[in-house]
Amino acid sequence: EAFLLAPISIVLSASVGLATIGADDFTDFTLGFFFETILGIIEYVYLDAFIAYASLAFPQMIGKVINAIMSILPFSKSVDEDELEEAEIDAEDTLVEDLMGFLAAYGVNTASVYMTPFFIFFFWDFNDQLRLSYLYGFRKKDLLIYLLFSVVIIPFQIVMDILTFNAQELFHGWKVYEYLKYARYRFINRTSRWKGLERTYDESIDPGLRAIDQMCFSSQYF
């Protein structure tokens, strides 16, 4: 269930980001941050799509190979072609699910970006108790530099996210704006004040994403 994994993913993403404060100096910290950002963009645009495509295409390839081998044997029965066609139709139906998976991952990373300044301030305020400056080998006032960086980077992160959304729409053909607009329409016209109380789900969507789709990526979801 992707909806239940979202809070855990936020904590994990924030922890990984905060672990970079253990760099030797601020230069290494910024290099690590931007390297992680570039890898994130590549993962969003290319890697996630390749993994999703491979997970769908690989079983179909195995089915076709088995079908070819079994057709050679006179005593065997080949794989039904209708099953292969249904698999191809299912592959087309996952377009919306891929979009929802991207939006869920984006929400997790964005939430961790907004929470990072509060975490760093907490570490700075309780540095004497946590002894982070001693364990990581930096001065306590260096945390203020990391705090300032985490605040200043937020508007640039938003601009980068806009460009990433545009790249996703062009590369994958996703209708991000149309989907979010439709999700907003469903949220405004919800039958319950709390969207999670509704018991109607879109059964055409993968069961692991139905709860996220029901919350419509609204303020109640976050």
Share of the chain above pLDDT 70, in %: 87
Could you read off the pLDDT of 163-193 as tens digits, one per residue? 888 888 888 778 888 888 888 888 888 888 8
Q: Helices 81-125 and 48-72 sit at what angle, rounded to 10 degrees?
A: 150
57-66, 82-91, 101-110: least confidently modelled range: 82-91
Contact 210, 200 (CB under 8 A): no
Q: What is the mean pLDDT of residues 116-120?
A: 88
Can you give 13-60 as a three-state secondary structure string? HHHHHHHHHHCCCHHHHHHHHHHHHHHHHHHHHHHHHHHHHHHHHHHH
pTM for this prediction: 0.70
Query: With helix as H, strand as E and coil as C, how does 108-159 read?
Result: HHHHHHHHHHHHHHHHHHCHHHHCHHHHHCCCCCHHHHHHHHHHHHHHHHHH
> Could you tell me the CA-to-CA distances from 160 to 52, 80, 92 in Å, in that order?
24, 47, 29
Tell me how far apart the alpha carbons of residues 219 and 6 are, in angstroms, rounded to a whole number. Answer: 14
pLDDT of 57: 72
Angle at 103 between CA 102 and CA 107, to 5 degrees: 120
pLDDT one-digit tens code per residue, 137-158: 778 888 888 889 989 999 998 8
Comparing 83 with 40, which gets the higher pLDDT? 40
